[in-house]
Amino acid sequence: MTPPARTRFAPSPTGYLHIGAARTALFAWLYARHTGGQFILRIEDTDRKRYVPDALEKIIDGLQWLGLDWDEGPDIGGPHAPYTQSERLPKYQEAADWLVAHGHAYRCYCTPDELAEMREKQQANKEKIGYDRRCRWLTPEERAAKEAEGRSWVVRLAVPTEGDITIDDLIRGPVTFNNAELQDAVLLKADGYPTYHLAVVVDDHDMAITHVIRGEEWISSAPLHVHLYRAFGWEMPLFAHTPSILKPSGKGKISKRDLQTPEGAVIPVMLHLYPEMGYLPEALFNFLSGIGWSLDDHTEIYDRETAIKHFDLKDINPGPARFPAEKLEWMNGVYIRMLSIDELVQRLIPYLSRDLGIPEEALARDQRLRIIAPAIQERLKKLTDAAPLIDFLYADEIDIGDPRLLTPRKTTPEQTVDILTGIIATLEQVESWDEETLETALRGLAQEKGLKAGQVFSPIRQAVTGKKVAPPLFATLVAVGRETSLRRLNDALNLLKRSVREQ
């Protein structure tokens, strides 16, 4: 049995949550749930210059929408609170002071101008660009002089300059770094705020994180973190660096711009845009879990309970994974078709309200939506597809536009006037306004007049919906209702008659 894992996701509110980061959060959540452990949410808000005011709210809302609940976090507390880094500053200051006192770090007094001059000389001499450790070797007297000048300082890690360091990554195996290639990274900035390197190690230790699961862009930072763990004498967590997600073409990593499928459809990169665009959380959960990991070699659709049961870090492919954009809409459509009609209606209401300008309360009471929902369910790839399909239900009048649109192929406008007249007369006589009765009556009319069914159905569809393509005709007529359908048909007939007279 795998022991319970404590994993975490630690987003920074310097921007909105990238879909790649959401996939990493999902993997961390799955592993915690698979092992019967805990998933912790921690907010890394120490980069105050790039702080985006509404980013944190959107990050939390997006994670909750995706169904990633946490056992400890800033909103619910826990035994290792606080879970927001800006509330933990004394811990980082204490840790930095300890490192300096024990020779594992040092104060660097270099000014921005001095660092810029250093880099210019390195560039001119074609040397490796990076901090040259000049403050690392200062004597106590030289440090005292810098302090007396009133210089501000940062704390840098004193990285070993010889030997190698190996990270045993759970996804990609041993990864070795040469210590001489590492920088003496800044741990504590002049404003008293920690950098990522110090804060992440202190926080992961304090919160008893057993598995650090993060994107592969952080793998180059891992040796610095291992050196910090060793300096403190702390037990080290296990590391797992998830593979990058590539563009749908497979060429390059996905950027913060919108993605496009080969067909030109737009796929958002930021998580908070997915619910706005009509994707289902259970579909996106299934989709994201399958980028870099798979249940088996043939199963595409599975629920979160199945994913929890089978997920393991060792089964993640270490290679970069393409974002299969063409699969996302297909998968979303599959999940839409799995909904009951009642659930589908409830999911559609917020989008229809937003896109058609109708209060949600009115839509919830309106039986027309419940009638038409089964007829459109098969056609929906996203919940936002519904509004343009059924907007005619809520229109006061139908704008047919060119009256010639009422005339079916191989039919004259004069013939169409006769057909519409017969349609209206037939529909006025039907006793029950249901799909079976309407279909029987209208097919009977076509047979009586020696017409093809399309010659009868096409002008009805155009008159009642104003669309060449609409939901199935008989479900549409039932949803629109007898009175409105007949009124629209009469309006269309009068429009066509005027057009014929004016020819």
Sign of CA dihedral 86, 87, 91, 93: positive
Integer Cα distance of 292 and 213 in angstroms: 14
The burial of 404, by beta-carbon neighbours within 10 Å (0-12 exposed, 13-18 middle, 19 or more buried), is given as exposed
CB 364 within 8 A of CB 432: no
Integer Cα distance of 312 and 411 in angstroms: 64
Nearest residue to 42 (alpha-carbon basis) of 19, 70, 66, 74: 74
Number of H helices, E strands in the chain: 20, 13
Integer Cα distance of 215 and 172 in angstroms: 12
Nearest residue to 260 (alpha-carbon basis) of 325, 208, 199, 194: 325
Active site residues: 256
Q: CB atoms < 10 A from the CB of 48, how many?
A: 10
Integer Cα distance of 495 and 493 in angstroms: 5
| Strand, coil or helix: 341 | helix
Output phi, psi for 397, to 5 deg.
Answer: -135, 155
CB 4 within 8 A of CB 36: yes
| Dihedral of the alpha carbons of 39, 75, 67, 265, in degrees to the nearest 10 | -110
